[in-house]
Structure 1
Amino acid sequence: MKPLKYLYLYFQDGQRMVLRFPQQADDVASIARGLRKQLESPFLSIEVDGDLLMIPRESIRYLQICPGPAVLPDPCILGATVVD
């Protein structure tokens, strides 16, 4: 069984959506390619319970994936901590 990941989507209007899904790939290069494709697309495309959910990127304030992917986008600031 593949490890589970969580995607937290924070929208411009203040709403939040949480999705749970299995790790999409084991190969580090494949993970990096998939992440890059999602970042370049005008929509975040997610299969949810057999349906296709397409979220316009302009409606997303920010997103969080945890635990983080094995490969991070380049460039990426490492070792940060949120300070309130």
Structure 2
Amino acid sequence: MKPIKHLYLHFIDGQRLALRFPQQAEDPVEVARGIRKQLESPCLSIEVDGDLLLIPRSSIKYLQITPAPLSLPDITVVGAELID
């Protein structure tokens, strides 16, 4: 069984969408490539329960993927902590 990942979409209007899905690829480089392709697209495309969700990136404030993929984009700041 593939590891489970969680995606939290935080929208500009304050709403949040939480999703759970199996890891999409084994190869960390392939995972990073998939993330890059999604970020370059005008819409985030996600299959949910047999339906296709197309979410305009312009409505998304930020995305949170947990746990983080093993391979991160080159420009990623690592080791950060959220503080109040």
Classify the TM-score, shorter chain.
Answer: over 0.9
The structure 1 segments of at least 4 consecutive aligned residues displaced by more than 6 Å after TM superposition are none
SS in structure 2 opposite 1:62?
strand
Gapped regions of structure 1 (runs ≥ 5): none
Aligned to 2:8: 8
Task: Please give the TM-score of this superposition, normalised by the length of structure 1.
Answer: 0.97
Whole-angstrom CA distance in 2 between matches of 1:19 and 1:53: 12
Q: Aligned pair 1:17/2:8, yes or no?
A: no
Q: TM-score, normalised by structure 2?
A: 0.97
Structure 2: where are the runs of 5+ without partners? none
Identity within the alignment, %: 68
**Alignment partners' CA distance in 2, 1:16 and 1:29:** 28
After superposition, what is the alpha-carbon deviation per residue over 1:10-53, rounded to whole angstroms, capped at 9, x for unaligned? 00110000000000000112111101101111111000001110
The number of equivalent residue pairs is: 84
